[in-house]
Structure 1
Amino acid sequence: MHVHLEVDGHGHKAMPQDLFDASAAYFRSGERTPSVDRIAEVYRGLDMAAVIFTVDARTALGHVPNSVEDLVAGAARNNDVLIPFGSVDPRTGADAVALARRQAGELGVRGFKFHPSLQGFDPSDPSFYPLWDALQELGLPALFHTGQNGMGAGLPGGRGIKLRFSNPLLLDDVAADFPGLTVIMAHPSVPWQDEANSIATHKANVHIDLSGWSPKYFPESLVRLSNNVLSSKVLFGTDYPLITPGKWLDAFADLPLKDEVRPGILRDNAVRLLGLA
């Protein structure tokens, strides 16, 4: 449920270079900017599928994002393994709503990715509600980064990126006010894991993806609830290329999870959420 395409077919990167360098050091990642075809090759070789996306943070970063059109075309070339999500910059107001409708209607994206800290916005602010209303109308899920942030990590002032925008409690407002919108909280939401657990338990339309952390570092409460009340609401994700599928799955195998919940986490919950059955 969580793979980044960080460079388009024209070589344009999703973020300024200093953010790439900082995140590579934070995650100790190897191949940082694989092409869409390389991502497909990796996942096809593992007999796996992946949701891929970029993040449009043009206002906050002063940097034009890489091309969603290019991403969708690459996913179409590799539609046996890649599922494209779109992204718009919420801070562009009505333009964001129009662009989201175009990405859904003309390009056929299957959901949208947002990174409140990187994009510099509070998702619970009513000024962004027209966008959530449009996504609810379109019937497409919204995937939001939550918790600790590798973007800007170790840079002075975190390069101005504010962690509070990624507090999952801000998404409780969104999920409550737009009950028809499927909200996915990306990552174990450290240091707010209990808040994320509570929201996902309380709101039928909220899910959690497990990307961005090796499972060996998952908070105990997340593992425990994944075994019972959240077993149908947690979703496999890596954060590739920052974490490889093999590394994630090796650590996942060691978690104290019931055998009967593993297929749901690794595949079936996402198949149902994305309407792929």
Structure 2
Amino acid sequence: MAMIQDAVDIVCNPFTSQELDKGQTGFDRTFMTQVRMPSEMHDGVSMPDYIDKMDRAGIGRSLLIAVRAGDMRMAGSAEIPYDQVAEYCRAHPDRFSGLAGVDPYRGMQGLRDLTYAVEELGFVGAHLYPHWFGLAPDHAKYYPYYAKCCELGIPIMMQVGQNLVYNRKRALPSVGRPICLDQVAIDFPELKLIGIHIGVPWTDEMIAMAWKHENIYIGGDAYAPKYWPPQLVHYMNSYGQDKVMFGTDWPVIDPERAVKELEAMELRPEARAKLMRDNARKVFRLPESEAK
């Protein structure tokens, strides 16, 4: 099966020595070992080296997350500043677009930050980690941010399903049941909601939400494709082919490995193109880009 040469990775975390040195990743070396990250990556991967990986995998564009992982007044929280991600995007505008992390405890300043990220920095969407805040996706504290996303015309992605222990100093509860998107989709029908990390162990619930609601999508990331549940593969290869988008959650999953495993799947050509490229371009309103 021919590789898609201009794929889009919708979930990508900056993971250079800069993020590690500044303590901006939110996870420790125990987590790196748990997800079987190669030891040579433990000190970060430079952007030029990551772009080389993109090229070998046929990925034209990656969406970089300016993550806000928890209330920064609490020990163990982490963030990557919007401007830091914007620098990567400005340096490689044909390869990267930014996603603005959401922290519901920042109130009006958080809403102003989100507006700045989209209108001034050119970010194409928002990103939320519900478990870092201990609040399920349908909590009222997120609603002003959902409304602002509607005003700005951007989608928002959020982790659904379980979460791991990212840092042994602070374990977080798994609050992101996919069913929690149900009421949000009803209250904000024009807001595109993307449940990333495929909803494990509630993948059937995630599929049900994407099937029920026109404005709910699934991010296929954080798990190696060869381990994706068969019901998800069936969904994206049939009646759900317009609702699933490729991602890696780099550095959790290596893009070369992910693409290779997806190439081995028996997917219809139109379903493969939508998964790897077309759905993301439509949802995030991305410019066309190609791997060099």
Q: What's the TM-score, normalizing by structure 1?
A: 0.89
Cα offsets for 1:21-78 (capped at 9, x unmatched): 2321121113253344443343245442111113212416534522220111111111
Pairs within 5 Å for 1:31-42: 31-32=41-42, 33-42=44-53
Alignment match of 1:59 (pick from 48, 52, 71): 71
Larger relative CO (CA 8 A, sep 6+): 1 or 2?
2
SS state of the match for residue 194, structure 2?
strand
Residues 182-235 of structure 1 deviation map (CA, whole Å, 9 limit, x = unaligned)? 111102211111110011011111111111111111111111111111101111
Residue of structure 2 aligned with 1:89, choices 86, 99, 103: 103
User: What is aligned with 1:197?
Assistant: 207
What is the match of residue 273 of structure 1?
283
Distance in 1 separating the partners of 2:237 and 2:157: 22
Q: Which runs of 5+ in 1 are unaligned?
A: none
Provide the secondary structure at the position in 1 that maps to 2:259. helix
Map 1:52-201 → 2, pairs under 5 A: 52-59=64-71, 61-62=74-75, 63-152=77-166, 155=168, 159-163=170-174, 165-201=175-211
- Conservation of the 8 A alpha-carbon contact between 2:54 and 2:256: no
Instruction: Name the aligned partner's letter for residue 171 of structure 2.
Output: G
Per residue, is there more strand in 1 or in 2? 2
Shift of 1:94: 2.2
Quote the residue 1:14 is aligned against: 24
Say which SS state the counterpart of residue 137 (structure 2) adopts.
coil
Structure 2 counterpart of 1:161, one-letter code: L
Deviation of 1:147 after TM superposition, in Å, equals 1.3
SS of the aligned residue for 1:24 comes to helix
For the structure 1 residues 92 and 275, does the alpha-carbon distance in structure 2 shift closer, same or farther, using more than 3 Å as the test? same
* Counterpart residue type for residue 71 of structure 2: T
**Counterpart check, 1:27 vs 2:38:** no
* 2:136 aligned counterpart, secondary structure: coil
Q: SS where residue 86 of structure 1 aligns?
A: strand
Q: Residues 53 and 255 of structure 2 are in contact (CA less than 8 Å); yes or no, is this contact kept in structure 1? A: no
Letter in 2 for 1:5: P
Do 2:17 and 2:45's aligned partners in 1 also have CA atoms closer than 8 Å? no
Cα 1:75/1:45, change in 2 over 3 Å: farther
Cα gap change, 1:6/1:151 in structure 2, threshold over 3 Å: closer, same or farther? Answer: farther
Which residue is 2:62 aligned to?
Answer: 50
**Matches of residues 238-253 of structure 1 in structure 2 within 5 Å?**
238-253=248-263
Match of 1:211 among 221, 225, 243: 221
- Does 2:271 match 1:257? no
User: Aligned partners of 2:196 and 2:23: how far apart in 1?
Assistant: 22
Change (3 A) 1:151 1:5: farther
Q: Which amino acid aligns with 1:252?
A: L
With over 3 angstroms needed to count, the CA separation of the structure-2 counterparts of 1:115 and 1:176, relative to structure 1, is same
